[in-house]
Amino acid sequence: MPEGDTLFRIAHQLRHSIDGRRIERALSPRGRVVVDCIEGHTVTAIEARGKHLLIFLDSGDAIHSHLGMTGSWHVYAVGQRWHKSQELADLVLEFAELSCVCFHSKTLEKLSRMALRRHPHLARLGPDLLGNQFDMDEALKRFRRRDDVPIGVAVMDQTIISGIGNVYKSEILFLEGLDPFQNVSRLSDYQLLTLLRRAQCLLRKNVGGQPRRTRFGHDGKRHWVYGRSGEKCLKCGGTIHMRRQGDLGRSTYWCPPCQEVSRTGCRAGRP
């Protein structure tokens, strides 16, 4: 599933291509969106909020998409061959010199100003780690409201903080030496704030479009633990484990020796 850095990058690319342009024609081949009130309007802003993308129009409405596991946005010049079949397009926005196409989006809808303010998911989103005004104190407060939740579940909860997905979850917790299965209550404010700063740093390093990486060594390995179950830890030489976690059974990768919890709840060590 696209994580916060991916949505930030998509927003930047769309902003460069369509911000300030008039939508000459809108099509929804699979009937996902009512397009009549989209045609003729001008794009005024494109914004990433965690894993959500919003394209704002001069009418005050917004096109909201959540890409899920398989969704994507493409930009094509007039006459350029599409990388995917037109039959798979959920929404086509045609401009004078290019087309902007959304494929396979988990969520795709047009929202009025009122609907945007009252949206059951958007209205509850936590502070965005890549936002210009990320509120560290608010994020900490939201963590503390979920003290009884394992930290590996909490960092994925978009109502606490927006932008962390499965890859970053495992990698950040490893880098901070935190056991993914211990409750938030066992972590100090300092540990949570350090985790947030680490997350911001890694997300920002990955907004450029290169393959996502959380490790920057010269051996070609891009991740410390993610996707490496059964392999040797690159820090201690121990074995990387994987266990399903949370209601959705998302995979969590960790190194038990590096992320061991002492009796006081403090981490045993960090890279």
Buried b (16+ CB within 10 A) or exposed e, 101-118: bbbbbeebebbeeeebee
Question: CA-CA distance, 36 to 42, in Å (whole number)?
Answer: 14
2 catalytic residue (yes or no): yes
Instruction: Kindly report, residue by residue over 55-111, the tens digit of the pLDDT.
Output: 999 999 999 999 887 889 999 999 899 999 888 899 999 999 999 999 988 889 999
pLDDT number for residue 26: 94
Q: Helices H, strands E: what count in the chain? A: 6, 10
Of 3, 150, 169, 171, the active-site residue reads: 3
φ, ψ for residue 200, nearest 5 deg = -55, -45
Distance in angstroms (rounded) separating the CA atoms of residues 13 and 18: 9
Burial status of residue 40 (CB atoms within 10 A of its CB: 0-12, 13-18, 19 or more) = middle
Q: Which of the residues 2, 127, 150, 180 is marked catalytic?
A: 2
Inter-CA distances, 79 with 86, 101, 124, 225, Å: 13, 14, 41, 43
Q: Looking at residue 267, what is its pLDDT?
A: 45
| Strand ranges for 182-246 from DSSP E | 241-245
Reported as half-sphere exposure (CB side, CA atoms, 13 A), residue 245 has a value of: 24
Q: Domains of the chain, with CATH numbers?
A: 4-124 (3.20.190.10), 136-254 (1.10.8.50)
Active site residue 3: yes
Query: Of 47, 51, 109, 169, which residue is the catalytic one?
Result: 51
pLDDT score recorded for residue 172 = 95
